Amino acid sequence: MFETGWTVLVYAIIEPSYTYLYGHNPQLRLAVQKQGDPSKPLPKMQRPSKRLREGFVYIMPLLIMDVTMIKKFHGVPVHEMALSGNYDPDTVGMRGTFLAPTLHRFSWSSPLQTQRALPLSAPSSRQLVTQLATSILIYDAVFFLFHFALHKLPLLNRIHHVHHGHAEINPQITNQLDVVERLGLVLLANFSLNIIGSHVLTRTVFIPTFIGLLVDIHSGLDLAWSYDKILPKGWAAGSQRHSYHHQHGSKYYEPFFNWWDDLYGLIIDGRKGETSEVRQGR
Ligand SMILES: *[C@@H]1O[C@H](CO)[C@@H](O)[C@H](O)[C@H]1NC(C)=O
Ligand SMILES: [Zn+2]
């Protein structure tokens, strides 16, 4: 259950920090900057005590998978995975790839999956950084497609509406998601890590990086130190593009970067110069 717990802990630190900034710096809010009206009433924010249900709904499906499925981390021998799942490694024909999920072998003496077999050696620092960057790029591309489908397919659009039904974006919107969309998001992140065989340690570093980016793009704030201001100009989607997406419900489907959106705009709509359009407000 480590990754589930780690994710919740990291989220519970990062998102309220942004929410605090949001609440105390109305002049930094993109919507206010655009409309030039700092006296606009604050959107409804939820108190931490009201958010236990949100936490519960997030944790439960992941926890259920944690205690029923064998963890298949890259670099772990298959027989170790089998042992962790209460199987006899000599007789079970288990596959070591994450693409072939295996349930725990439930028994009275081992009613739940409680162990995860880990690789013996650590990754090199170069491997860690490369895997981290690559998995973020893969996620960015696959989520672009998923998000595009969420908008274009009527059935999925109903699901995505939970994430879009607000007048003004704020950090708490990050996790305002239908269970199906949230699971899709988590599974795509898991896929992006697994498909390149990321080390468990990379996964552990991925979680704060990923959540930091997710909260940042939903912050609705024009912060001087946001990742889009740190990266070379024109690389990142940032909160500007994502706020635009939430406000208009169209364009800018890519969460973290620009490339796929720009390519899509160029090919399908023949659009050009989108980046400058959004950036005008700066
Ligand atoms: C996430 O990835 C791990 C490691 O490969 C895998 O064992 C696990 O089943 C995946 N979790 C889900 C919910 O797919
Ligand atoms: Zn959307």
pLDDT at res. 281:
38
Q: Which ligand is nearest to the CA of 146?
A: 2
CA atoms 70, 3, 183, 142: torsion sign: negative
Who lines ligand 1 at CB under 6 A? 65, 69, 71-73, 98, 101, 187, 190, 194
CB 160 within 8 A of CB 146: no
Determine the distance separating the centroid of ligand 1 and the alpha carbon of 72, expressed in angstroms.
6
| Best probe residue, ligand 1, of 2, 3, 69 (max atoms within 8 Å of C-beta) | 69
Least Cα distance to 174 among 274, 65, 46, 270 occurs for: 46
Determine the distance separating the centroid of ligand 2 and the alpha carbon of 161, expressed in angstroms.
8
CA atoms 223, 278, 15, 13: torsion sign: negative
| Best probe residue, ligand 1, of 63, 73, 98 (max atoms within 8 Å of C-beta) | 98
Residue nearest to atom 9 of ligand 1 (CA): 71
Which atom of ligand 1 is found nearest the CA of 186?
13
CB 147 within 8 A of CB 138: no
Q: What is the arithmetic mean of pLDDT over 255-281?
A: 68
pLDDT digits 0-9 by tens, 41-97: 555 677 777 788 888 888 999 999 999 999 999 999 999 999 999 999 888 788 888
pLDDT at res. 132:
97
Q: Distance between CA atoms of 253 and 118, rounded to whole angstroms?
A: 36
Residue nearest to atom 12 of ligand 1 (CA): 187
DSSP 38: T
| Helix boundaries (H) for the chain | 2-24, 30-35, 52-68, 78-84, 125-152, 154-164, 179-194, 200-217, 227-230, 238-248, 259-264, 274-279
pLDDT digits 0-9 by tens, 123-158: 999 999 999 999 999 999 999 999 999 888 888 888
Determine the distance separating the centroid of ligand 1 and the alpha carbon of 49, expressed in angstroms.
31
pLDDT at res. 282:
34
pTM given for the model: 0.87
